[in-house]
Structures are given as structure tokens and as C-alpha cells.
Amino acid sequence: MKSRLEKLYTDTICKKLKKELNLDNIMEVPKVTKVILNMGVKDAVADSKSLNLIKDVFTQVSGQVAVRTYAKKSIAGFKLREGMPIGIMVTLRSRKMYDFLDKLINISIPRVKDFHGLKTKFDGNGNYNIGLKDWMVFPEVDYDSVDKSRGLNITIHTSAKNDVQALALLKSFNMPFTQN
């Protein structure tokens, strides 16, 4: 069974984008290929147990088991050794990706304090990054179980050939961009 956003994409958005972007083939229509959630945890250098709590919360937010990321090289100024766990990440695809995007667009982003819209700056290849300063905007995060507020990065990878196509795709999902 398809998620709500995936069904919306296949039934209406795909046809609308084909017409809007003047594409010849339905296979040229841009789509979201994967969503990556990433968080660097500087507290993990001193206390590796803090990473376990963050991993559990990430697993609840994404609906998929999070994996640890490790330091690639040693940096003496940060007391960091090669191979030490320093972050958490999750890569979402297919149904879990669409479920997460639906939750992000319709529930989490509107809960951001003093929110005036997302900037329309893409990376040049049709991919979009969102940096959230507070992970408490997700309904799965329990205020009592977490020790402090943390930020995270969300990367949305698309199959768009350029930023114009990617912007049209994300706007069709009702992503709340600023009007500039």
C-alpha cells in the first residue's frame, strides 16, 4: 500500500509536472530519490553513551534504525581519534521516505518557532538541504527523555536535472518556501 504523499505524486503531481516543465516523456519527470537525516554529536567525544539516546530518538523520528558515523581522521584540538563515533545518520527510501516527507511538511515544519518559510537555495544539482535548529519539532521526541535540544540536517535528493525542476517538484508537495 502506498503512502498518502506517494499516491498524490503518482496520481496528480507527475502529470502536472510533465505539463508544467514541458517534458516529452513521463520518465523525465523529477522525483524524490532519497532523504538523509544527519546529526553530528560533539558530546559523543567525551561521553559515547549520549549517542545511544540520540540513536533511539532518530530511530523513532525516521521509522528506520539509525547508524553511527565515525571520525575519518584524528584531530588533536578536538580530542578526536580516528574511528570514534561522532554522529548519527539515516537514509530513507521509498515508502518510509514519503511518510517522513509527509510528516516533515505537514506537521514538523509548521511547528518551528518564528517560521517564515524555507529558502529556495538548492545545491545546483537539484538537491535540497534543510537545517533544523531544534529536533523537538518532531512529535516523536519526548521532552522528558532527552537531555537537551539538538539540531539536525535533512537532505532531500531528487532526480531533477536542475534547480528549477527540483523547486517545482518540492512546491508541488506543498513545501513551505518563502515568496522571494
Q: What is the mean pLDDT of residues 86-109?
A: 86
Please tell me the predicted confidence (pLDDT) of residue 165.
85
Please tell me the predicted confidence (pLDDT) of residue 180.
58
Reported as a single tens digit per residue, the pLDDT across 105-117 is 888 887 777 777 7
* pLDDT for residue 65 is more than 80: yes
The alpha helices in 9-63, defined as continuous H runs, are 14-20, 50-62
- Please give the residue that has the higher pLDDT: either 94 or 71: 94
* pLDDT for residue 80 is more than 70: no
Reported as a single tens digit per residue, the pLDDT across 154-180 is 898 988 888 888 888 888 888 888 775
* pLDDT for residue 139 is more than 80: no
Q: What is the mean pLDDT of residues 126-152?
A: 77
* CATH architecture for residues 4-171: 2-Layer Sandwich (3.30)
- Please give the residue that has the higher pLDDT: either 126 or 99: 99
Contacts of 177 (CB under 8 A, 6+ apart): 117, 118, 119, 120, 167, 170, 171
Please tell me the predicted confidence (pLDDT) of residue 144.
66
Contacts of 94 (CB under 8 A, 6+ apart): none
DSSP 73: S
Task: For residues 69 and 86, give the distance between their C-alpha atoms in angstroms, rounded to a whole number.
Answer: 6
Most confident range, picked from 11-15, 45-49, 54-58: 11-15
